[in-house]
Amino acid sequence: PASTVGGDFFDLIELDDNRAGILIADVMGHGARSALVTAILRALVRNHANEVKEPGDFLTEINHHLTEVISRSGQTLFVTAFFIILDTRECKATWAVAGHPAPLRVHRGSGKSPEPLWTEPPHQPALGLIADAQYRSEESPLRPDDLFLLFTDGAVEAENPEGEIFGMKRLAASFDDALDGPMAAMPAKIVCEVTSFQKRQNYDDDVCLVAIEATRAHTES
């Protein structure tokens, strides 16, 4: 968090034995107000977790309820979000986005650099702005050793004393470099590189990083 409390968060939802949903969200601003909206959003996610079938439908439902709450406050607030479902039975990744930056994806051992899940803006609004917004789901094959890096813009927009931002190229390079180490240490390693780049410990915005790997199944003989 950029201050005592933050507005970035992620959640892992076990849908069944073969599907897991991962949500990352960034509430507008930071501090106490953002933390309050985060708490509301987290409760909405948990209340509707058992209804999850498609990522787009899930974000549509969450947005409907969140917009009602925000409208009663009389303030303008919004939340960018990305929600992905990894299905190991169907071997597919399905996701939906609400105004959030594209996560990075790479296949371990491929020799290729991490790339964003999309390059053209999907034109899906942030949550909390349009009550009847409809979010669509996208899908691609999922293979063992596929890795994803979900993040909020606090990392890529971190500035050094010269006014340069960390940016997507540096984030992708940091992700690539971290592939040789343990997955559990990957987010912390990247955060350390961002901190070193900006040459100070405190951040102007909240930072959240989530690393995900589709591992190969271990079978017993």
pLDDT at 98 over 60: yes
pLDDT at 219 over 50: no
> Which strand (E) or helix (H) includes residue 142?
none
| Per-residue tokens: 94 | 């399905």
pLDDT of residue 4: 55
Gyration radius of the chain's alpha carbons: 17
82-109: average pLDDT: 95
Distances (CA, A) of 70 to 1, 63, 67, 187: 22, 10, 5, 31
| Per-residue tokens: 170 | 């540096």
pLDDT of residue 217: 60
CA dihedral 193, 188, 121, 105 (to 10 degrees): 100
Higher pLDDT, 121 or 97: 97
pLDDT at 13 over 60: yes
pTM: 0.90
| Per-residue tokens: 84 | 């992905």
pLDDT of residue 30: 60
CA distance 189 to 194: 9
> Which strand (E) or helix (H) includes residue 111?
none
CA distance 54 to 19: 11
pLDDT digits (tens, 9 = 90+) for 120-166: 888 999 999 999 999 999 999 999 999 999 999 989 999 999 999 99
**Residue 221 banded pLDDT, cuts 50, 70, 90:** very low
